[in-house]
Homo-oligomer: A and B are copies of this chain.
Amino acid sequence: MPKAPVTRNDVAEYAGVSTAVVSYVVNEGPRRVAPETRERVLEAIRVLGYRPNATARALRMGTTRTFGLITPDGGNPLFAELAKAIDKEASARGYVVLQTSADGDPVTEQAKIAELLIRQVSGLLLVAPTEDPDLTEVGIPVIAINRVLPSVSSVRPQYRAGARAGVKHLIEHGHRMIGLVIGGRGTGGRAPERELGWRDALRQAGLEDGPIARARFSRQGGYDAGRELLAATKRPTAIFASSDLQAVGVLRAIHESGLRVPDDIAVVAFDGTAETEYSWPPLTVVRQPLDRMAREAVSRLIDGEDAVQSLTYPTDLILRRSCGC
C-alpha cells in the first residue's frame, strides 16, 4: 500500500493557512510571510514529511533545472571523468544532470536527444556527438563538448597546440622518428587537429613525418595500432597517441614485443585521465582541462549566452616516465 504522497494542500490544511502561503515559505518568496505563520508552516512540513513535487513545479515554471548529458560511451574513462566534472559543476549550481550514453551510434544518439527533450531538460550537453543532429529548433541551450558543430557553441581543449606541445617534448628528448596513433579507422571518428599538431611539431623541427596508424579510440584500437607501428619498416623511436585509451593499448603492444618504455620507445598520450598515472610506466600526457571545460559548458547553459562560439582551452603537459623524463 504505497501511502499517498503528502501534497502542499495537506500542509496548508495542517497549518491552517492557504496553499499560497506554503508556497511563499517553501520558496522564500515572492511574498514575505509573518514569522509566526512561517513557523507553523515549517512545523507542518516537518511533521507531515512534505516534499515539493518538482514535476508540478516544472510544469508551472517551464523549467526543470535539469540538464541532459549525452556521451558516446559511458565506459570510456575520459567521458566518465568529464561527466563527473559536469555533474559536480551542475550540482553546485542547483541543477541535476540526466546522463546517458549513445553507444557511439548516431541513431541512438538522436533518440536519446528526443528522450531528453520531452523531459523538458533545461539544456543539453553533447559530448563528442557523432553526427550533427538538428539542433536549431530545440528551444533550449545546447553545447557541444570536444567537437565543434555548425549550429551550436562548443567547448574543447586546444587539440592542435596540445598535440604540438606533446610531440615537441618528445623531440626535445632527441627523438627524430615519431609515430602517430590516431582515429580514423572503424568507428571513433578522426582527430584532424591532433594530427595537425603532431605534424606542426615535426615541421618546426625540420623532421619528416613518422608512420601513422589509424585505429579506433579504444584500448584494442591502440594495441592494433601499436603492433602496426612496431612492424613498420622505419620503426619509430617514439609514439604520440591521440588518446589515453590508445596509449594504454600501445603500451601493451610494446611490452609484448619485449621492447622497453621509454628506453627503446617513448610514448606520450593525449587526454590525461587518472588511469595514465598508474600504467607502466606512468604516461606522460597532454591533459585536457576537463574541470574548466565543464565549468564553462555549464555556465553557458545557465547564463544563456546565445552567440554561437567555439571556445578552446589550453592543455597541460604532465611529465611522467613514459617520455624518458
A residues in contact (CB < 8 Å) with B: 2-3, 5, 49, 51-56, 58-59, 64, 66, 73-75, 77, 80-81, 83-84, 87-88, 91, 96-101, 103, 112, 114-120, 137, 139, 219, 223, 248-249, 251-252, 255, 274-275, 277-282
User: What is the bound-complex CA distance between A223 and B129, given in angstroms?
Assistant: 36
Indicate which residue in B2, B87, B248 contacts A278 across the interface (CB closer than 8 Å).
Answer: B248
**Cross-chain pairs A/B with CB under 8 angstroms, 10 sampled:** A3-B137, A3-B139, A55-B58, A66-B98, A74-B87, A98-B98, A99-B99, A248-B278, A251-B280, A275-B275
B-side contacts of A119, CB under 8 Å: 54-55, 64, 66, 96
> A70: shortest Cβ distance to chain B, in Å?
11
B-side contacts of A118, CB under 8 Å: 51-54
B-side contacts of A84, CB under 8 Å: 73-75, 101
B-side contacts of A275, CB under 8 Å: 77, 248, 275
Judging by beta carbons under 8 Å apart, are A64 and B55 in contact? yes
> A85: shortest Cβ distance to chain B, in Å?
9
Indicate which residue in B49, B58, B73, B87 contacts A100 across the interface (CB closer than 8 Å).
Answer: B87
> A142: shortest Cβ distance to chain B, in Å?
13
B-side contacts of A54, CB under 8 Å: 118-120
User: What is the bound-complex CA distance between A83 and B98, given in angstroms?
Assistant: 12
B-side contacts of A278, CB under 8 Å: 219, 223, 248-249, 251-252
> A318: shortest Cβ distance to chain B, in Å?
15
Judging by beta carbons under 8 Å apart, are A120 and B77 in contact? no
> A248: shortest Cβ distance to chain B, in Å?
5
> A66: shortest Cβ distance to chain B, in Å?
7
Judging by beta carbons under 8 Å apart, are A91 and B100 in contact? yes
* Interface hub of A66, A98, A223, A281 (most chain B Cβ within 10 A): A98
* Interface hub of A3, A97, A248 (most chain B Cβ within 10 A): A248
Indicate which residue in B58, B117, B219, B281 contacts A277 across the interface (CB closer than 8 Å).
Answer: B219
* Interface hub of A52, A84, A117, A248 (most chain B Cβ within 10 A): A84
Judging by beta carbons under 8 Å apart, are B77 and A96 in contact? no
B-side contacts of A55, CB under 8 Å: 55, 58-59, 64, 119-120
B-side contacts of A100, CB under 8 Å: 87, 91, 96-97
User: What is the bound-complex CA distance between A84 and B79, given in angstroms?
Assistant: 12
Judging by beta carbons under 8 Å apart, are A139 and B96 in contact? no
Judging by beta carbons under 8 Å apart, are B101 and A98 in contact? no
